Chain A
Amino acid sequence: MTALELVGSLGIVGYGLGAIGPGIGVGLIFASVIQGTARQPEARGAMMGTAWIGFAVTEALAIIGIALAFVFGG
């Protein structure tokens, strides 16, 4: 007798775990941008340019995660 039967794909759980790191990373990037803007408002433009690239690179991990969740989940 099984007490609790769960059906579904472990890939989704893996994606949930994989999204933790990029989530923290993206949060750190924009936290730094907010701090930097508060300290030196005129440097905002230069910071935002770098921030978007950093955001894109960090987010790539989560993106690879969602792609792999579908690859292994299917």
Chain B
Amino acid sequence: MTGLIMSLIPLEGFEAPGVHSFDIPPLFKGAPWFDKYMLQAIVSVILVLAFWLIMARKQALVPSKSQFIGETAYFFVRNTIARDMIGHDFRRYLPLLMAIFSFVLVNNLWGIFPLTLLPTASHVGWAYGLAGMVWLIYNGVGIAKHGFFGYLRHTVLPSGVPKAMWPLIIPLEFASNILVRPMTLSLRLFANMFAGHLLVLVFVLGGEYLLLHTDSLVNKAAGVVSWIFSMAIFGLEIFVQSLQAFIFAVLTAQYISSAAAEEH
């Protein structure tokens, strides 16, 4: 069986991409913390800051082309994410949501930018950091609004639940709102970026191996097809990366709004 597979698919010398593909050595010998992920994150902060500062600098009544782009991006975050999710009190959280959306978007798009080709959040630490920050903020918003015990009661007990159901509802709501939310928020971002980058690696590295390291003509043709198809995967990745940045910001807004909601 193994011999049959081996004669059909030549795999000698091919190192399949896996978790080890994400262990990237640090850029400088002396600084183990300064790797490609860190560099991308720093550059993305500079880019995001520069974009919004330049957009906000010259405000004209009749917008120029660049101001129009900035305003469209601003209105997208303001109306679709902040206002639809948080409601009338959305202005306080708008800067946070703008920052989170642009930071996550730029960092995801590093995955298809030709010079980097690595989404920052495909290293799980970055996703943990972002989700931990969101967790602190939405719990902080809730505690500031309702007080510590008021917030705890507000989170674990939806209003209108009959007393007989309390032993069932309270642990479930606590687990879902306090423990699972940060976990899914970070793992969603991480796993989408990780799986997307892995998919790209499989197609590109597999195509490279089939085209350049095998002799049969069928394999070479398959390698070319694999490379062409990797372009379609890149297209899918652009969609997934933008969607994940949007969902990350939407869920942040939703968590904040549910923590700050009034009792009904």
Whether chains A and B associate is yes
Instruction: Name the CB-closest residue of B to A55.
Output: B247
Residue contact B1 to A56, C-beta cutoff 8 Å: no
The reply to whether A52 and B191 contact each other, CB–CB distance below 8 Å, is no
Tell me the interface secondary structure of chain A in the complex: helix
Q: Is A70's beta carbon under 8 Å from chain B?
A: yes
Query: Chain B: how many interface residues by the 8 Å CB criterion?
Result: 20
B1-54: which residues lie under 8 A (CB-CB) from chain A?
1-2, 19
What is the interface of chain B mostly: helix, strand, loop, or mixed?
helix
Given contacts A49-B84, A56-B247, contact A64 B2 (CB under 8 A): no
> Which of A49, A52, A57, A67 makes the CB contact (< 8 A) with B187?
A67
Kindly state whether residue A33 has any CB partner on chain B within 8 Å: no
Which A residue's beta carbon lies closest to that of B80? A49
Known: A53-B254, A56-B247, A56-B251. A66 touches B195 (CB 8 A): yes
Name the A residues within 8 Å of B84 (CB-CB).
45, 49
Query: Within A12-69, which residues are at the interface with B (CB < 8 Å)?
Result: 45, 49, 52-53, 55-57, 59-60, 63-64, 66-67
Q: Which of A5, A55, A63, A74 contacts B19 (CB 8 A)?
A: A74
A contact residues around B80 at 8 Å (CB): 49
Q: Are A60 and B184 in contact (CB under 8 A)?
A: yes
**Which of A45, A52, A53, A59 is close to B188, meaning CB atoms less than 8 Å apart?**
A59
Give A55 to B247 CA distance when docked, in angstroms: 9
Asked whether any CB of chain A lies closer than 8 Å to the CB of B192, the reply is yes
Q: How many residues of A contact B (CB 8 A)?
A: 17
Q: Is A1 part of the contact surface with B, judged by Cβ < 8 Å? A: no
Contact A63:B187 (CB < 8 A) given known A49-B84, A70-B19: yes
- Return chain B residues, CB-CB under 8 Å to A52: 246-247, 250
Closest Cβ of chain B to A21, distance in Å, is 15
Report the Cα distance A39→B1, complex, angstroms. Answer: 55
| B85 interface hit (Cβ, 8 Å) | yes
Residues of chain A with a CB closer than 8 A to B254's CB: 53
Query: Would you list 17 pairs from A and B whose C-beta atoms are within 8 A, ordered by A residue?
Result: A4-B1, A49-B80, A49-B84, A49-B85, A53-B250, A53-B251, A59-B188, A60-B184, A60-B188, A63-B188, A63-B191, A64-B184, A64-B187, A67-B187, A67-B190, A67-B191, A74-B19
Known A53-B254, A63-B188, A63-B192; further 10 A-B contacts with Cβ < 8 A: A4-B1, A5-B1, A5-B2, A45-B84, A52-B246, A56-B188, A56-B251, A63-B191, A64-B183, A67-B191
Chain A residues near B (Cβ < 8 Å): 4-5, 45, 49, 52-53, 55-57, 59-60, 63-64, 66-67, 70, 74
